[in-house]
Amino acid sequence: MNIFLTGSSALTALDKYEIKQYLESYVENHNIHVMCYRSIESEVLSFFIENDEYAPQLYLYSFQSMDSLPQKIKDSIQYLKEKGSIYYSFGIEDVLIKRSVYEKTWRTMLTNIDLVMCFYNGDKPSALIPVDISEQLNIDAMIYHLPGFDETKIDLPIENKVQVVERKEKQI
């Protein structure tokens, strides 16, 4: 299964723990896709660097060219590419990306994706745009509600953390 991970960028230690637990549970049998653009990419890249035997199952994307990325992200991508990850840049050089371009690029990335998993802690509603686009494309999506600073949410069963996004039936 091809799973596209997206979500919040301002992550607490508890949020990072949840993302790592998810990756440990699902990476072995799935391909993981992630956009390197002010989202959860740092946690995903760190996980794959620590577990580089899974690098061939990682697909990385960026709006900007590799040269325009922050050095830490660039170094991580280079390392993971050497270990077998696939990287694709859309070559957009604008710092602020127009919404229409942003959405069009997401539509392209979600081609051949089976599930969009959005790790969300409520930091910014724009983190949910990929979920909205997946709905429009009739792709399964889930929102994984991260704990933020609430330690009591760590021990909740997965059913209480993950919200399945109901796909809308296409109107004829």
pLDDT-derived band at 9 (thresholds 50, 70, 90) equals confident
For 87-142, the pLDDT digits (tens) are 999 999 877 788 899 999 999 999 999 999 999 998 888 889 999 999 999 999 99
pLDDT (tens digit, 9 = 90+) per residue, 12-50? 999 999 999 999 999 999 999 999 988 899 999 999 999
Burial class (CB in 10 A: 0-12, 13-18, 19+), 51: middle
Domains in the chain, CATH or no CATH each:
2-165 (3.40.50.450)
pLDDT at 172: 41
